[in-house]
Structure 1
Amino acid sequence: MENWLIWVILAVVVIAAISVYNGLIGKKNQVENAEASIDVMLKKRFDLIPNMVESVKAYMQHEASLLNELTALRAQAQSGGLQGEQKVALDKQMNAAMSRFNIAVENYPDLKASDNFVMLQRTINEVEEQISAARRAFNAAVTDLNNAIEMFPSNLFASRMNLKQRALFEIPATQRENVNVGQLFGR
């Protein structure tokens, strides 16, 4: 009778270990999938920038430095070989440049009236919303993985599997501030 109980306990322990191991692998893969989704959205964004630059060049000749910065960031993103932290930094730079671009657009009513620009601006807004959703999914997956890495008993397996905590996508403090719409309109 005792042998039977030992075998049952051993089977439960093995099943639990397999379950924890598979859960950690699943969480790691979810993070990688979410990160790849962000890459897809960023690629989509970077593919739109040349079209945006060409559309607005005629309207904003003296804003060439901003357009050049956007083009340089796009080239850097397409160069490949960027790691997780580098992607985050490049994304922050792109967000800052896009914010400056949107403010500059407010100063050019003719630009806003252009049908091509309005369509392009809608597309950019859609892509930005998709990137935002992909970031939220990434952060949820990273939080789930980080929790599993820290919590018992999965932390025992995580350390043996060399799983490390991942950083969340965060925005700089300046982008957390409220937008002063009056300032955008010159008040």
Structure 2
Amino acid sequence: MILEIIIVVVVIIILFAVVGIYNGLVSSRNKVKNAWAQIDVQLNRRADLIPNLIETVKGYATHEKSVFENVAKARAGLMNANGVKEIQNANNQLTNTLKSLFAVAENYPELKANENFKQLQDVLGESEDKIAYSRQFYNDTVLMYNNKCEQFPSNIFANAFNFKEADFFEAEEGARSVPKVEF
């Protein structure tokens, strides 16, 4: 009788442990999805600002057509991208084309003084900050989830229930190098 009670208690404890580990994996996976959704929101917010920025710059720099086309293509690429790697590459492309747009703006002092342009530039800067924060939060969340998928004993359940590791949002290759500064 006592042996049967001990066996039942052990089985219940094991059952609760399995349920706890499984629920922890589900919770972590959902946190990764949520963190990715936050990056997506910020990237879309930035993409929504770009047409206004282009129109403002176009009014001053009408002969810079290729810059506007490149920014529009990069924006479309980001809006159509799927998955962490593809969105990461499209985001890097958009960031680079925005740099060229702001370089064009440097050649037009009256544009730089335009209040609408300044406001758009400030909002875009805020968006970049929010994107950077969202990336960091996403990568921290992915790290915690991936650790659960790899650490014992939850790795046994992660494999059994097909929990796959998530991809990190990584910096582009050029971002890792130290910029050359000359005076």
TM-score between the two structures when normalised by the length of structure 1: 0.88
Question: What whole-Å deviation, never above 9, does each CA across 1:59-104 have from its counterpart, x for those lacking one?
Answer: 223432222111112223334x623321121112112222333334
Unaligned runs of at least 5 residues, structure 1: none
Runs of 4+ that moved beyond 6 A: none
* Structure 1 residue aligned with 2:105: 105
Q: Percent identity?
A: 35
Q: Tell me how far 1:138 sits from its aligned partner.
A: 1.0
* Structure 2 residue aligned with 1:68: 69
The two structures, once aligned, show a CA RMSD in angstroms of: 1.9
Q: Tell me how far 1:181 sits from its aligned partner.
A: 6.2
Unaligned runs of at least 5 residues, structure 2: none
What SS is found at the alignment partner of 1:43? Answer: helix
* Structure 1 residue aligned with 2:36: 35
What is the rounded CA distance, in whole Å, between the counterparts of 2:169 and 2:33 in structure 1?
Answer: 14
* Structure 2 residue aligned with 1:77: 78
Question: Does the 8 A contact of 2:84 with 2:169 survive in 1?
Answer: no
Q: Which moved more, 1:63-72 or 1:46-55?
A: 63-72
Q: Tell me how far 1:180 sits from its aligned partner.
A: 5.1
Question: Does the 8 A contact of 2:54 with 2:68 survive in 1?
Answer: yes
TM-score between the two structures when normalised by the length of structure 2: 0.90
Question: What whole-Å deviation, never above 9, does each CA across 1:21-46 have from its counterpart, x for those lacking one?
Answer: 00000111111111111111111111
Change (3 A) 1:122 1:179: farther
Amino acid in structure 2 at the alignment position of 1:123: V
Q: Tell me how far 1:179 sits from its aligned partner.
A: 4.6
What is the rounded CA distance, in whole Å, between the counterparts of 1:111 and 1:118 in structure 2?
Answer: 9
